[in-house]
Amino acid sequence: MKWHYVLLVLVVSISATALIAWRSGWNAHADHINALAEAKKEKAEKAIQPVEKKAAAASAEAKVVYRTITRDVVKYVQNPNRSVCQFDDESVRLRQRAIDAANAISGFDAGTVQGK
């Protein structure tokens, strides 16, 4: 009868050892996959950084240009001497300046706006 207990202890200890080995192997695999994913993420972030910097610079430059254009447009609209229904040279110049500013923004994939 004693050999049944010995056999049971042996089977349980072998099963526990196999389970522990399987778990540690699985955890090592998961750590490896996570490290690969982290490396891929860092590589992607490094690739995107110059594009983001370029877009931020273009956006800041565009804000300055559009702020100036907006100020000129407000000044033009508030001018009591302008004609209401006619596009004089100043209104055409402001429109063309806005179009040129939109087309000059670098770093974006949008198509250009037609000037005339």
**26 vs 85 pLDDT, higher one:** 26
Q: In whole angstroms, what is the distance from residue 29 CA to residue 112 CA? A: 50
Q: Is residue 9 part of a domain?
A: yes
Give every CB contact of residue 77 below 8 A, 6+ residues apart in sequence: none
Q: Considering just the CA atoms, what is the radius of gyration of the chain in Å? A: 35
Domain assignment present for 111: no
Query: Does the predicted model carry a pTM greater than 0.85?
Result: no
pLDDT tier at 69, thresholds 50, 70, 90: confident
Choice between 58 and 80, residue whose per-residue pLDDT is larger: 58
Q: Is residue 77 part of a domain?
A: yes
For 22-49, how does the pLDDT look when each residue is reduced to its tens digit (9 = 90+)? Answer: 999 999 999 999 999 999 999 988 888 8
Q: In terms of C-beta distances under 8 Å and separation of at least 24 residues, what long-range contacts does 11-16 make, across chains too?
A: none
Judge whether 67 lies within some domain. yes
Number of domains in the chain: 1
Domain that holds residue 8: 2-104
